[in-house]
Amino acid sequence: MEDEDKSGARVLEHKRIVVGVTGGIAAYKTADLVRRLRADEADIKVIMTRSAQAFLGPLTLQALSGNPVYTELLSKGSDAGMQHIELARWCDLILVTPASANFMAKLAHGLADDLLTTVCLASTRPILVAPAMNREMWLAAATQENKQILEQRGVRFLGPAAGDQACGEVGPGRLIDTDDLFAEITAALAPGVLRGLEVLVTAGPTREYIDPVRYLSNRSSGKMGYAIAQAAAEAGASVTLVSGPVALAPPRGAEPVWVSSAEEMYREVMSRAHHCDVLVAAAAVADYHCGVPALRKLKRGGASLTLTLLPTPDIVKAVTALARRPFTVAFAAETENLVANAQNKLEDKAVDMIAANDVAANGVGFDHDRNEIEVLWRGGSIHLAKGSKQTLARRLIRIIAERYREKKDTA
């Protein structure tokens, strides 16, 4: 099972999780999540805001969690006024799902006028926030600024997903799937499976210039590679990210190295590969570069233009040929015969593992926030079902850690 560590113990067993629920139609999905968390023997305590209770009754979550549901900042009894401190110190993790724009704004600016915001401010535990709201509310400048503030403070955002919304509109703002939420919580509470290791990740496209203005490239956004770098850092690794040109902020905990061309990426990777433990080659490196780029912008002419293209260095093959080589994971972006082509690449490049995805499929791969991956190694494989790239990255890191340890144990 994916929610078990290598010893067979459940990752969530005896873990203490505070689940905060704010107002929104997606609040009903919390019931199934709480049920699943408790089935894995997590200890759950639920806090509901006043608005959340308009969408879901506290008795439902009380029955599913096996604990009383907290709804008031100041309760009656001997512990009146101390619940926020007790809950903040009791838990291993706080998850807010769904998280409204109002909750995000209050937490970003230190407002604490209900139990949930007060617990979040009083806690030093990890906070995971799963937003759900109208697309315009999510894209509003104020909401995006609040998100940036919270991320800078270490709050991790799960989603939102894009799609049909209860208001009838279509766009970003949907609560991510319960499967993804469950996987994110499990990953957040799992032990540091890469602790003490040096991990090198490549991400994004490369640019091979034809002249000072034009270049050859591809549709890679770098999102998958960046998610892998983030997941590796969360798993305790020391992470270096060699990135082509992308419009993404560097992941927390990863040291970025910026490159443009395949040749530059080759040099940076080879200068580090001999002393890293794991290489995840997620970059979409151009296979060819222009033999002699023009020094000035090429002008339009009446005749056709012929370019001489030469092969770029094969970074992965160069790494696996090293005497002291890292555990190497390559990516295979395919448009047909996914598994067969990935298997061929696994053997041809002599890598330890291949993560293959169909970039021609709708809604996944290049330019998208979601992916679906076939992971292959010699003697085994596993399918990572469609999910957010962040979720799949964390699942992939756990598989890499397991295969790395097995290889070390048998060496």
Active site residue 276: no
List pLDDT tens digits, range 178-233: 988 998 898 888 778 898 999 999 999 999 999 999 999 998 999 999 999 989 99
Q: Are 192 and 199 in contact (CB under 8 A)?
A: no
Q: Given this model, what pLDDT does residue 7 score?
A: 37
Q: Does the pLDDT value for residue 53 go beyond 50?
A: yes
Q: How far, in Å, CA of 244 to CA of 284, rounded?
A: 9
Instruction: Kindly report the pTM of this predicted structure.
Output: 0.70
Query: How far are the Cα atoms of 154, 171, 221, 240 from residue 175, in angstroms, in the given order?
Result: 20, 12, 23, 31
Task: List Cα–Cα distances, 364 to 154, 206, 223, 373, 375, in angstroms.
Answer: 27, 21, 11, 10, 16
3-state secondary structure of 303: coil
Beta carbons within 8 Å of 82's beta carbon, 6+ residues apart: none
Going along the chain from its start, the domains and CATH numbers come out as 16-189 (3.40.50.1950), 198-292+304-410 (3.40.50.10300)
- In sequence order, the 6+-apart residues with CB closer than 8 A to the CB of 77 are none
Q: Which of 8-17, 190-199, 338-347, 400-409 has the lowest mean pLDDT?
A: 8-17
Assess contact for 194 and 394: CB atoms under 8 A: no
User: From the candidates 91, 120, 167, 276, which is the catalytic residue?
Assistant: 167
Distance (Å, rounded) from C-alpha 342 to C-alpha 353? 10
- Strands 198-203 and 238-243, by their bridges, are parallel
Q: What tokens appear for 154 in the block?
A: 């270490």
pLDDT tens readout for residues 360-378: 787 777 778 888 999 999 9
pLDDT (tens digit per residue) in 133-152: 999 999 999 999 999 999 88
